[in-house]
Copies of this chain bind each other. A is one copy, B any other.
Amino acid sequence: MGVSREKVFNDFSAWYNDVIEQAGIIDKRYPVKGMLVWRPYGLRIVRAIEKIIREEVEKTGHQEVLFPVLIPEDEFNKEAEHIEGFGNQVYWVTHTGETPLEKRLLLRPTSETAIYPVYALWIRSHKDLPLKLYQIVPVFRYETKHTRPIIRQRELSHFFEAHTAHASPEQAEAQILEDVEIMGVLCEKLCIPFLCHRRPDWDKFAGAVYSIGVDTILPDGRVLQIGGIHNYLQNFAKPYNITYETEDGGHEYVYQTTYGMSERLLASLIALHGDDHGLVLPPQIAPVQVVVIPILYKDQNQEKILEQVETCKKKLLSGGLRVEVDTREDRPGSKFYDSELRGIPIRLEIGPRDVKLGQVVVVRRDTLERVATPVNNLLDGVRKTMDDMTRDMREKAWRTVRDRVRKVGGLDEAVRELETGGGIVQVEWCGSETCGHRLEDETGASVLGLPYPEQPTPLNSCVVCRSKSKHVVSLAKTY
């Protein structure tokens, strides 16, 4: 049971663009292409997500730092692959006032080249390791692909990036696993299903030894990457000269990893849970968890109703819930419409009949089910409804995503499946880059990489070259 998602599935792009503006998440009319304004309601959701991210990464020993937005050209130019990957996307600052700068500065597209010169100063001894720091900052990438609000911006306003340094490759590897676990905890709270893939070499992060992409599937069947976890080993430590003194007095380069996430977490939870009435927000991150709407009639005893509204509000506040009473001069119907558009998890309706019966009508946003609840059991009732809703949202989203991942036996079938059902189609692959590119060319999709961690599966032959296959590989049309 649930509210119709016809519009979401039939024309995802139009639905998405509408709902993020109408629900007050962002305004895309800012006069620079690919940059947008975060409105109060949207920003409150972002802050709630950030709070969860901070809690989770701090539990695992990460500390927050803040590096400047501007990076000097010579620091940026130290790691060759990184320059190649980001060079064309860089915004260059060349002047202050009308005076040319002696040394050009760039706006960070990501912060490796800002942070690592300072890591070279901070890390001296094995006692300084592991070093686990993160920041949440705006980054700037001149995207040439089609921009799309929150999903692909030229200014990403809230880019999370963790940068760790370790004494051994094993510890760096363990960090990658910890990052995947953190993603699991986050996505459980945010009700976002995800799959990890070890990206093919031709699609790894610029400068990484390997990259794990964290992917989800949007309602239009295209895959959105919502996180990136990268093992650099010593690729940056060498050009940036980040060394440490080992216990026996030698000197070694550190081993590094990074972990990146962005507002795409918000975009995907909007896309995965929204319906034809608007947003559906998981209670944990909803800026307003409960909206109370008095149903007033002119001839009835309005005072009693408003009293009951006040009682309910106090009860819920005392339980630490985020509550709003909608006292605007407007029809109840229009208030219902609003609360649904904004995705408020719980709506309480209180009318003359409810006052008589000492009850409240509790409406949960995901199903719009209405349950009359005695006022003296309100707090427990609302809490339980929020828990049920969270669990159901999580399970339903996981089912939807899981149903869109399937393995097929041949290339033609893969093309057909991608065309009709979208999502992720898996085939067997010999592992060669030539066959990988052929896969992409023939299907018009991207190779997401190998499911991570890789599952042991009985294998036959590569769908391209028919030689013995080594892996199951995922294909999808991507954002």
A interface, CB within 8 angstroms of B: 27, 29-32, 35-40, 43-44, 47, 63-72, 75, 87-97, 105, 107, 114, 117-118, 121-122, 133, 138, 140, 142, 155, 157
Contacts and interface: CB of A to CB of B under 8 A. Distances in A.
Contacts of A63: 40
- How many copies of this chain does the complex contain? 2
10 contacts: A27-B118, A27-B121, A29-B121, A30-B67, A37-B66, A66-B157, A88-B97, A90-B96, A94-B94, A96-B142
A66 B43 contact: yes
A471 to B, nearest CB: 35
Given A43-B66, A70-B140, 14 more contacts: A31-B117, A38-B65, A38-B67, A40-B133, A43-B64, A66-B157, A68-B157, A70-B155, A89-B96, A89-B97, A90-B97, A91-B96, A92-B95, A96-B142
B118 A29 contact: yes
Nearest to A74: B31
Contacts of A121: 27, 29
A105 B142 CA distance: 13
A97 B36 CA distance: 22
Contacts of A94: 92-95
A142 B97 contact: yes
Contacts of A36: 68
Nearest to A117: B31
List the 4 shortest-distance A-B pairs measured between CB atoms, nearest first: A96-B142, A40-B63, A38-B66, A88-B97
A326 to B, nearest CB: 16
Contacts of A91: 70, 93, 95-96, 105
A31 B72 contact: yes
Contacts of A93: 91-94, 107
Contacts of A72: 31-32
A287 to B, nearest CB: 11
Nearest to A133: B40
Nearest to A27: B118
Contacts of A96: 88-92, 142
A301 to B, nearest CB: 29
Contact of A35 (B31, B68, B122): B68
Contacts of A157: 66, 68
A94 B99 CA distance: 13
A138 B118 CA distance: 20
Residue among A37, A63, A75 with most chain B CB within 10 A: A37
Contact of A37 (B68, B71, B105): B68
A31 to B, nearest CB: 5
Nearest to A35: B68
Nearest to A101: B91
Given A87-B97, A90-B97, A121-B29, A67 B37 contact: yes
Contact of A70 (B32, B38, B117): B32
Given A32-B70, A69-B69, A96-B92, A64 B87 contact: no
Interface centre among A36, A68, A71, A92 (most CB of B within 10 A): A68
Contacts of A64: 40, 43-44, 47
Contacts of A92: 93-96
